Amino acid sequence: MQQNIQLSKTELRETKPARDEYLTQPKTPLILVLDHVTNSYNVGSFIRLADAFSIEKIIVCGELTISDKKLKKASRNEAKWVNVEYSDSTSKSLQTLLDKNYTIYSVELCHDSVDYSEVNYPSSTVLVLGNERKGVSEAALTLSHQHIHIPMSGMGNSLNVSTAGAIVLAECAKQLRQKK
């Protein structure tokens, strides 16, 4: 019978680049835009996800009422490895990305949204995730190329924004890595 033994921190580090080399390595051409996400733990979770998938950057949009202490706790100091940008306007940030030829997908259940797993994500992709209660803003939806959703088989209609983001981000990052 094979015994499962956890890898030590040293063994995990062996599979990673040196810390001083990491920041200069190419990233997955993917940007997360957080449209008025206000919960520090959710933003911290997205920072951890951005690090885990080595994505280009996160843009946190809207009025910042985030607690630094809670954010640091949730992100577990991984913010130093992630390009985090702050913006007071989701629309301006998305327009800048459109001008740079990014393809924008809003994660929101809409009449015209499609299953996230049926999308062929191109290089230079943006995923927009919305406020915990209100979802993605109308302005961001208008600027998006496509609306995508996670099919819900149970009685609930939604997931926590960081959980939803993790699901979609994993699929998108996988596809973009396969295209390299």
Domains and CATH numbers, the chain: 26-179 (3.40.1280.10)
Q: What's CA 89's distance to the chain center, in Å?
A: 18
Tens digits of residue pLDDT in 118-146: 999 999 999 999 998 999 999 999 999 99
Tens digits of residue pLDDT in 51-102: 999 999 999 998 766 656 656 655 566 667 888 899 999 999 999 999 999 9
pLDDT value of position 2:
61
pLDDT value of position 9:
76
Q: What is the pTM of this model?
A: 0.88
Radius of gyration of the chain (CA): 17
Q: What are phi and psi of 125, to 5 degrees?
A: -105, 145
Number of residues written out for the chain = 180
Q: Tell me, what DSSP letter sits at residue 151?
A: -
Beta bridge partners of 146: 105
Name the strand (E) or helix (H) holding 94: helix 90-99
pLDDT value of position 69:
65
